[in-house]
Structure 1
Amino acid sequence: MIYFKLPFNEKLYTTNQKPGTDHVNFYSFDGLRQLSFEGDFIEADPVQFEQVIITNESVKKDDSRFNPESKDEYLQTLQEVIEVIKENELPKIVLSRRKIFKNFNHIDYKESFKNMCQAYPNAFRYLFNDGENAWMGAFSEVLGKFNKNTHEFETMSLAGTLPVSEDWSKKEIEEQQPVSSYIRNILETYAENIEVSETYDHISGNIKHLRTDFKVTIQPEDLDTIIHELHPTPAVCGIPKDFCKKNIQQFEKFPREFYAGYIKIETDDTVQYFVNLRCAKLYQDSVHVFVGGGITTQSNPEKEWTETELKSEAVLKNLVIS
């Protein structure tokens, strides 16, 4: 089963499990895994949803044997990543970690999902359990949105993170600009005229990001290729893409799985692609929260750790536990 809400839309959706169609698809960060939910997506019956019991007993036990990184381990890895960036004169590499939460007896995942929906109305919010995998997330970064009628394609450059009350520094600006350049260079291959917004603050709960919007008109047959070229963007990987992906595999203690991958949602009129950030893998006896940040030569390891702690609150503060 899967339940989800679209950004700025409080209608609850699910799929009708109709064989032969799959309009909701999850793709892993490395592109090697795809998880599809059969059927068209339909509006869920609120009464029926209230009768659904989604507790930690309804998901698998954690047999991953993963041990979370300590703060000291993560700070040491960050320092090593900064050295690689300096040696290779890279704009940025994105490093992530898992924060594993086990301090509970019981979790009501349905109520936790409701909390996330209320906390992040501008995000794509989802909860699913297919028997093998159970995940929950809420995130507002759009990899792409295509209008089948007008052929307009929209995407965004979203990078740099600070608490809402703090002012932007050189580090965040240097982190976001290469993402914008990367997206522009790809879109110029497929369109002559690109509409680009001013860079502005994008608020997400207790943190903010720098955001720039892009809009072009493309040929429908180019859509899949554009998405393939955009993913993973520098906001979740780094520049150059292949070099950074290789280093991510070397430095990160755990595989990312569906974290920093993307979700494709298709209707009769649109195809939307959401980056899977602020998410967690759910178990009976633990919650694996995925968090990360863009590392540059300006990065301070202590501040980067604090940033990941802030990002983990998107999931952890909304859990209904006992």
Structure 2
Amino acid sequence: MQKRILNLDEFITKALVQTPFKPETVTLKNHTFPFMRLEIPIPGIDPLAWLERQTLYPKIYFETPKTGFRVAGVGAAYTIDEIPSFHRLSASPRFFGGMDFYERKFETWKTFPHCRYVLPLVEIEVRHEMTYLCVNRTSEALDLSEIHFNPAPISTLSQKATSRFDSPSFPVWDRNIRESLKQIQENSLDKIVLARASLFEFEKPLSPLAFCKALQGKSPTATVFSYQFSADQAFVGATPESLYTRTGSKVETAAIAGTRQRGKTDAEDKALQADLLGNAKEMHEFNVVKEEIEKRLSPLCKALTKQNEDKIIQTSTVQHIYNLFEGELSEGIDDTSLIQALHPTPAVGGRPKEAALKEIRKWETFDRGWYAAPVGWISPEQAHILVAIRSALIHANELRLFAGTGIVPGSIPEKEWDELGHKISQFILWE
């Protein structure tokens, strides 16, 4: 049981004053800086509620229900516009960030750089049922005057959308799917993943963290995340899919593809699972993903294994076919190497990769930005990089929901369109 501290602000200030700045040196591929991390056990406050109180940016949230790990970060002790590649492992900074799916054409994601990773100035972290306040210092000077150490209530989602605009519309979607199927039939593509952006407008500005709070309940097995580099925009999501996790030189990733709704009863759930696993079109789509991940990851590993049987992974609204890969990385393979090799997987891009990306650029009339791209955190010892699906871009009173679906032989435009609706339903909290 953690000891209750009555005046948290005073306690933290005193702890910082009593801790001299004795940094280690962190060496990245293109950066070197002094670093010292101070961790203070504190009463069990909600990181999300603490983040709601903050007015300093960036504001970052990351929650993995499987491990019980939750962290909220605010401010920037150090910022880089590339994937962190550590050369010296004596210190343990943890950078949070992400990157674009591919290059952009529009200004939709104006506050999100092509690639950015941030070492937060202050974090509230929950791990192993203990709560810690963490301060990342990169200089002797330390200004925490803009940090508030007590939480605030998270606002509720009480508004209803006043309008909706889908890009593409269904007639355009229907045409795109049929054209893609022709290319698959002509053997120029095995699979392509096409996405839709659904723009909802509301009367008043939206709270990104209110969506995070709601997603905790709607998607209890998904990793919930939020990135805000300024007050103008936020990227939030609850994804069931990791690009990979790494502990030391051990790496895990999974093939995920094929979709069915969740059943209303256990019996209906099991029937839908059996239908999914027995469907030739869905299994072909899944096997394309599984084969491609194995092909890309094998050259980076001394050893690589996968499960003998394909399984089912579930969210609150849909379920997918799943197979886990575990590997031992070869010497010299870092997180940059992993991200460059694995992104985008055929589950969000297609196969062959470059041919599919060329067609996606042609057919999609919006920027994916950080949607379906690698986002997460990286430290010398560990990394957790997500595939940022089941996600949304929030800008003032606008909510832009993204969803994609894999197109393979047997795909039917109407069914794929309906699948997009199922995938964004966890965000439709006003109906």
Counterpart in the other structure of 1:60: none
Deviation sequence 1:36-76 (CA, Å, 0-9, x none): 333277325798342567999xxxxxxxxx86332222122
- Which blocks of at least 5 consecutive residues in structure 1 are unaligned? 57-65
- What are the within-5 Å matches in structure 2 for residues 95-174 of structure 1? 95-105=194-204, 107-131=206-230, 132-148=232-248, 151-164=249-262, 165=269, 166=272, 167-168=275-276, 169-174=279-284
Counterpart in the other structure of 2:291: 181
Shift of 1:79: 1.3
CA contact (8 A) 1:98 1:254 kept: yes
The amino acid of 1:190's aligned partner reads L
Counterpart in the other structure of 1:63: none
- CA separation in 1, counterparts of 2:203 and 2:392? 16
Q: Which has the higher contact order (CA 8 A, sep 6+)?
A: 1
Q: TM-score, normalising length from structure 2?
A: 0.66
Q: TM-score, normalising length from structure 1?
A: 0.86
Deviation sequence 1:118-150 (CA, Å, 0-9, x none): 2222222112322243111010211111112xx
Identity over aligned pairs, percent: 24
- CA separation in 1, counterparts of 2:300 and 2:423? 34
Shift of 1:13: 1.2
1:36 pairs with 111, 117, 140, which one? 117
Pair 1:314–1:47, CA change in 2 (3 A) = farther
CA contact (8 A) 2:205 2:398 kept: no
Shift of 1:280: 0.5
Indicate yes or no: 2:301 matched with 1:191.
yes
CA contact (8 A) 2:206 2:397 kept: no
| Greater Rg over alpha carbons, structure | 2
- CA separation in 1, counterparts of 2:213 and 2:220? 11
Indicate yes or no: 2:97 matched with 1:25.
yes
The amino acid of 1:23's aligned partner reads F
- Give SS of 1:222's match: coil
- CA separation in 1, counterparts of 2:287 and 2:170? 29
Out of 68-77 and 210-219, give the one that drifted further.
68-77
Pair 1:253–1:31, CA change in 2 (3 A) = closer
Counterpart in the other structure of 2:150: 48
- CA separation in 2, counterparts of 1:75 and 1:103? 28
2:319 pairs with 200, 204, 208, which one? 208
Deviation sequence 1:75-111 (CA, Å, 0-9, x none): 2221111112212352210000101112554544333
Count of matched residue positions in the alignment of Structure 1 and Structure 2: 308
Out of 273-282 and 89-98, give the one that drifted further.
89-98
Indicate yes or no: 2:426 matched with 1:314.
yes
- Which blocks of at least 5 consecutive residues in structure 2 are unaligned? 1-58, 80-93, 105-113, 126-132, 134-147, 159-164, 263-268
- Give SS of 1:249's match: helix
CA contact (8 A) 1:7 1:140 kept: no
1:294 pairs with 406, 415, 423, which one? 406
- CA separation in 2, counterparts of 1:219 and 1:271? 16
Shift of 1:205: 1.4
The amino acid of 1:13's aligned partner reads V
The amino acid of 2:243's aligned partner reads L
CA RMSD of aligned residues (A): 2.7
Counterpart in the other structure of 2:33: none
1:253 pairs with 351, 365, 373, which one? 365
Shift of 1:306: 0.3
- CA separation in 2, counterparts of 1:81 and 1:121? 35
